[in-house]
Chains A and B, each alone.
Chain A
Amino acid sequence: MSVPDGKRWFLPKESLDALIAVLHQQQYVVIGPVFHDRAIRLEQVQRADQLARGVRDEHSGGQYRLIDGNQELLFEYVVGPDSAKKFFFPPRQELFSLHVKGEQFVIDKVGPAAPKLAILGLRPCDLAAIAVQDRVFGYHQPAGDEAPWASGFRCESELYYTQAREQSLLIAVNCVRPGGTCFCASWGNGPQVNKDMPYDLAMTEMRKGFVIRSKSRKGAAIISSLSLRDADDAEVELEGLLLQRAAEHMGRQLQTDDLPQLLDRAIDSPHWDNVAKRCLSCGNCTMVCPTCFCSTVSDSDDLATGSTTRTREWESCYTHQFSYTTSGPVRSSIRARYRHWLRHKLDTWHDQFGVSGCVGCGRCITWCPVGIDLTAEVESIRRYDSRDENHAPPRITVEARP
């Protein structure tokens, strides 16, 4: 059954608990945005009253603040430091434990089973980021709902990703109040979902309830089990107005059409030295970015049992050990590390995965302790670039060599 894209239902606020109950019935662990650690975090919820309510967020370079909002509204904020990444690609994941017996490696423990998650309150940029990581970890959203990852064996950590993704249910919330560092619209990734994004249900919040639409069979089944009424014309019109206004109020903008070429040319840009003076190389931007995928697997021993556990953890390209070799780190300067990160996001990601590595969520701007702003850095690079008469990419010719 395919659901016509235009079809909308209305979910009254009181029915959010019914929605969560249906998800529980279907054995989902339900994740939603909650107020925790003085931030909006994504955590497990049992009831709708655990969701953050009546809070707004203020974002700018290096600044994040929650303030009182409209008590009638549940989703007046945008993204916090968490993203769906932490569920499908956990920050710390045990792969297996083993010990050596004679000439054999004996497996003591295999990694955890992939969870069955329903994530409520993902933003359009979050969905775009999931689509990016789907490419990175080799999961492709199927045309129908068929199991997509069945083709061929992959390494254990990818198996976890693909299983968790396959079992997941994604409920998005469109943004009617974009944040101060958001620039999803520059990428075409928001403020509302589009048909290329991986979601099952998408909602737009109004005072009394949500206009809700479904994209998948799983989503349609949930709609019908809630026996929702159709959204009326006024509601659909209001949704359109809210989302159009949101698109006009993005906190940031980025000219995205020429970024790979620009950053190819910019490999020797003087601007990298400017950024290097400010960047602390703390790696925050890579930790909060919903698409960054670097990781390190390392060993730890249980001295009591003699078993060794191999664990995969998120890694950042801003550390020294990331590129360490016997002759020292490949990228020893901060200049080179920021350049690597920015070029990876906006340029070489295209070569590797056919898409941009940035979706415009703004997290790296908000959570940078010194407020380094990707959109502003790109603009500076662009200014240097247009000053440069010589637009030809650097060619290494034999003659040019000493």
Chain B
Amino acid sequence: MITPAARPEPHCGHDTWYPLAARITNVVQENFNTRTITLEMVDQAQRNDYQWRPGQFNMLYVPSVGEAAISISSDSDKPQVLEHTIRTVGSVTRAIEHMPVGSVVGLRGPFGEGWPIEAIEGKDVVMMCGGIGLAPLRPMVYWLLNHREMCRRVVLLYGCRTPEDRLYADELEQWHEDPRIDVLVTVDNATSQWVGPVGVVTNLLRRIKVSARETVVMVCGPRILNRVGAWSFLQLHVPPEQVYVSLERNMNCGFGRCGHCQYGPKFVCRDGPVFRYSDIHDIFAKEEV
């Protein structure tokens, strides 16, 4: 919480450099380098005000270390419970890794355009993701399950290195049993217990039937998966207007001012991170844009 004098207006952190204080209320170790932390805004009013959409992200702040863009990975119908699934790769993510339950981190957000909830009505939804890319799609899965009447089929295709690397392993099992959603998980390297598919996630497309015109696609993964994933759906003749990709860029401000996240004419933080393929088709295949 910030002293009122310093904060000209109460708001939810998406147009300010001042971090809101949030406490860690739970920690789940997902795999060897990834944890899911649950955050709760310290200030009651901020907790009640905070609303977000699947696909949006926060800038998480550790004083004297810095900020990192992290997607919200929980259920947007319970907006006060803010889970963030964080892979440790550098200074900020390592600092958060060492924080026990009860610690306080800074939070600014929510930022960005989320997944296209408006576009899915009456359609099939196919989500394809790899590694940490499941984190920004998990709120979408929750949303689809909560509002199941909105669309027709729901398919989740997920790829990761080994079975031990799977995020949300218990939940994946649950969804696997759930008749409302088809979940297919593939691994690059199987272990002896693994009975599922092995290979890259795009191979899973052979196992499902895609009715191209009637399908909305959401892709989130490392750079290479974003490309190969999106193109594989285009090859199945899904219209480019119905393919959505969540992109990653270096981010500093989150609200379209610092310039870091530029992608051609777009600011990924403000205009994305989720983009419709047809809006970026002229730069999507280009290197180093």
Contact = CB atoms under 8 A, between A and B. Distances in A.
A239 to B, nearest CB: 40
B249 interface: yes
B118 interface: no
A326 interface: yes
A396 B17 contact: no
Contacts of A167: none
A156 B64 CA distance: 19
Contacts of A315: 252, 258-260
Contacts, number: 148
B148 interface: no
Contact of B16 (A156, A293, A321): A156
Nearest to B104: A103
Nearest to B237: A398
B6 A96 contact: yes
Given A296-B258, A398-B237, A153 B8 contact: yes
Q: Most B CB atoms within 10 A — which of A95, A100, A393?
A: A100
A99 interface: yes
Given A267-B286, A308-B64, A105 B21 contact: yes
Interface residues of B, number: 54
B252 A296 contact: yes
A232 interface: no
Contact of A297 (B3, B21, B258): B258
Contacts of A322: 250, 260
Contacts of A395: 281-282
Interface in B16-33: 16-19, 21, 23
A241 interface: no
B196 interface: no
A106 B66 CA distance: 17
Contacts of B285: 396
Contact of A351 (B89, B255, B265): B265
A340 B67 CA distance: 25
Nearest to A152: B15
Contacts of B248: 325
Given A395-B281, A398-B237, A158 B257 contact: yes
A98 B63 contact: yes
- The number of chain A residues touching the other chain, given as a range, is 35 or more
Nearest to B283: A267
B265 A401 contact: no
B179 interface: no
A22 to B, nearest CB: 33
A394 B282 contact: yes
Interface in B259-288: 259-260, 262, 264-265, 267, 281-288
A395 B280 CA distance: 11
23 contacts: A100-B63, A103-B1, A103-B23, A103-B104, A105-B1, A105-B63, A106-B3, A264-B282, A293-B257, A294-B259, A294-B260, A296-B252, A296-B258, A308-B64, A330-B288, A332-B288, A340-B289, A348-B264, A351-B265, A393-B282, A394-B286, A396-B284, A396-B285
Interface of B: 1-3, 5-6, 8-9, 11, 15-19, 21, 23, 42, 63-67, 89-90, 104, 106, 222-223, 231, 234-235, 237, 248-250, 252-253, 255, 257-260, 262, 264-265, 267, 281-289
Given A103-B1, A103-B21, 20 more contacts: A103-B23, A104-B42, A105-B1, A105-B106, A153-B11, A153-B16, A154-B15, A156-B18, A294-B260, A295-B257, A299-B66, A323-B250, A326-B90, A330-B250, A330-B289, A343-B264, A347-B265, A351-B265, A352-B265, A398-B235
